[in-house]
């Protein structure tokens, strides 16, 4: 396993660029791949896609319910529809369409939630997507995935094309540092990626919170000698129960970290699994508390709630001491 790459890598592309570049390459070879957008080709980085493959992009305008319904119709007629829209609107305004037209009707739409979590930072609560895991976890027949670096994003898009079932992919805006140089750690929906191994504590994170979790693990090793396992639990549903239960067995405590409200997210998914399996060791959930966030950039907001290398390390230290 290689060393983590720092966030200062000048060649590191924004996550949404990786999504769109991968989709474009795949779509060039597969005319059934169709991007469906809600006036979001700019923010979804689909401008080049639209210029290169104008017959494979459908512009709906700002109408998310219709976006998802149309995508369901396209999918029902054999198109590999990628419905791209800011995560906050896609999963709130169009929730009934996701439930009925996509998941219940089993139309294999790939729902792409862009600028997720608090990516929009100071634009505030209307633009934050801190509910999407919670609402979609409550819906049957949908896979929910939040990649944690550009490798995972690329692999997720490739898998999404083959995935003939309803799927939600959640992307952030900014570059996400590669978690490991070793791309040999496979990526598969429903299987967490262990990006660092250690016997003392397990930090289960996803999306943009995996990197600070990894930094926290480095810090803990250096400063306290605590050896942490760090997992990119990119698939929230179905959760990799086998891995979580293994970590419960092998480590002294579990911490979950997510860019989502603590209600209904990755942490609660893990907690439910662990409790039902008799887990009785220390457990902490880190995320956005049940409040509307403070104003600030994405990093400032995450730092405010302790979702940083220092904040996560502090929680781990506290849990192990207690």
Partner 1 sequence: MTAAELKAKSVTYRKNILKYIVGAKAGHTGGSLSCIDILNVLYNGVMNVSPRNFTSPDRDRYIQSKGHCVEALFVTLADKGFFPESDLETLCKYQSHYIGHPTKKVHGVEQNTGALGHGLPIAVGTALAAKMDDKDFKVYTLLGDGELPEGSNWEAALTAAHYKLDNLCAIIDNNKLQITGTNAEVCNTDPIDGKFETFGWAVREVDGHDVQALMDVFAAMPFEPDKPSLVIAHTIKGKGVSFMENSVKWHHGVPDAAQYEAALAELGA
**Where along the sequence are the contacts to partner 1 (CB under 8 A)?**
34, 55, 58, 60-61, 63, 65-66, 68-79, 81, 96-97, 100-101, 104-107
Least distance from C-beta 39 to partner 1, angstroms? Answer: 12
Q: Which is nearer to partner 1, 62 or 294 (CB)?
A: 62
In sequence order, the 6+-apart residues with CB closer than 8 A to the CB of 75 are: 81, 102, 107, 108, 109
State the nearest-atom distance from the C-beta of 78 to partner 1, in Å.
6
> Closest Cα to residue 307, out of 261, 273, 270, 239?
261
Q: Do 16 and 44 form a contact (C-beta atoms < 8 A)?
A: yes
Q: Check: CB of residue 32 under 8 Å from CB of residue 210.
A: no
d(CA 198, CA 209): 18
| Shortest CB 37 distance to partner 1, Å | 12
Residue 95, SS3 per DSSP: helix
What's the per-residue H, E or C state across 199-226?
Answer: CCEEEEECHHHHHHHHHHHHHHHHHCCC
CA distance linking residue 174 with residue 13, whole number of Å: 8
The distance of closest approach from Cβ of residue 23 to partner 1 in the complex, given in angstroms and rounded to an integer, is: 17
Give the residue with the Cβ less far from partner 1, 13 or 65. 65
Identify which of residues 97 and 143 has a Cβ nearer to partner 1 in the complex: 97
Residue 70: CB minimum distance to partner 1, A: 4
Instruction: Please say which residue, 73 or 282, places its beta carbon nearer to partner 1.
Output: 73
Q: Which of 263, 259, 315, 310 is nearest to 284 (CA)?
A: 315
24 or 307: whose CB is closer to partner 1?
A: 24
Minimum distance from CB of 138 to partner 1 (Å)?
A: 16
- Among residues 106 and 300, whose Cβ is nearest to partner 1? 106
């Amino acid at each position: 396993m290689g060393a983590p790459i720092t966030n200062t890598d000048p060649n590191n592309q924004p996550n949404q660029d990786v999504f769109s570049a991968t989709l474009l390459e795949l779509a060039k070879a597969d005319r059934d791949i169709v991007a469906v957008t809600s006036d979001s080709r700019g923010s979804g980085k689909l401008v080049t896609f639209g210029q290169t493959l104008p017959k494979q992009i459908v512009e709906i305008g700002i109408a998310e319910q219709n976006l998802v319904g149309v995508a369901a119709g396209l999918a029902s007629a054999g198109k590999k529809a990628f419905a791209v829209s800011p995560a906050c609107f896609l999963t709130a305004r169009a929730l009934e369409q996701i439930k009925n037209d996509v998941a219940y009707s089993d139309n294999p739409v790939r729902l792409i939630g862009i600028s997720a979590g608090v990516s929009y930072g100071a634009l505030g609560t209307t633009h934050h997507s801190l509910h999407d895991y919670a609402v979609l976890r409550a819906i049957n027949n949908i896979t929910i995935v939040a990649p944690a670096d550009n490798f995972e994003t690329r692999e997720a898009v490739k898998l999404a094309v083959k995935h003939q079932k309803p799927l939600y992919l959640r992307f952030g805006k900014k570059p996400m540092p590669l978690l490991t140089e070793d791309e040999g750690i496979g990526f598969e929906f429903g299987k967490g990626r262990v990006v660092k191994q250690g016997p003392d504590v397990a930090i289960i994170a996803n999306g943009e919170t995996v990197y600070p979790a990894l930094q926290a693990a480095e810090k803990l090793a250096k400063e306290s000698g605590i050896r942490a396992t760090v997992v990119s639990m990119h698939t929230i549903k179905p959760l990799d129960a086998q891995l979580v239960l293994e970590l419960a067995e092998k480590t002294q405590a579990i911490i979950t970290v997510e860019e989502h409200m603590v209600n209904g997210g990755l942490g609660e998914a893990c907690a439910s699994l662990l409790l039902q399996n008799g887990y009785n060791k220390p457990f902490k959930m880190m995320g956005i508390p049940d409040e509307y966030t403070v104003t600030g950039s994405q990093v400032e907001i995450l730092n405010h709630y302790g979702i940083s290398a220092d904040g996560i390390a502090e929680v781990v230290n506290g849990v192990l001491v207690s």
